Amino acid sequence: MLENTQDAGKISKGYSIRAYALILFLIALGFTVSYRLFVALQKWQAGYNTDIESFSFCVIFPVVLILVMVFMPPTKSQEGILMRLGKMIQLFLIIALPKFALYLALGLPVVFLVVEVFVTKLPQKISNPIQRIFIDD
């Protein structure tokens, strides 16, 4: 039997990232990857091989992880989609800020902590408009 009759007629598809936010994020990701490739090729032509040798691990691997998260099915909770969005932003920062990549990668648990504080401690007057911008019900 159904415990809550209010939810009986409501079928939830889950929560996902809004299309326009996702498109803008992927465009910014494309520009960032292109810039990192341009810089790596410039340094390679100047005789520094380090950036082009580490390109696959420092850029391509995080991009693959981001694309996996983009194509994941919708989550059942708002916290889940916020955590996915936080991880995507952190991977983007790892690509965009190579000098801080190690610190950002080691700080991955901070994303979960920030999302938990955002959901539980932040007043709904602040958190609900932010959620409406990025989350599609």
Query: Is the per-residue pLDDT at 2 higher than 50?
Result: no
pLDDT in tens, 43-87: 999 999 988 999 999 999 999 999 999 999 999 998 999 999 999
**Looking at residue 11, what is its pLDDT?**
55
**Looking at residue 137, what is its pLDDT?**
77
Position 23 confidence tier, pLDDT thresholds 50, 70, 90 = very high
SS3 annotation, the chain = CCCCHHHCCCCCCCEEECHHHHHHHHHHHHHHHHHHHHHHHHHHHCCCCHHHHCHHHHHHHHHHHHHHHHCCCCECCHHHHHHHHHHHHHHHHHHHCHHHHHHHHHCHHHHHHHHHHHHHCCCHHHHHHHHHHHEEC
**Span between the terminal Cα atoms of the chain, in Å:** 26
- Of the candidates 122, 110, 19, which has an alpha carbon nearest to the alpha carbon of residue 70? 19
Query: Is the per-residue pLDDT at 9 higher than 70?
Result: no
Q: How many residues does the chain have?
A: 137
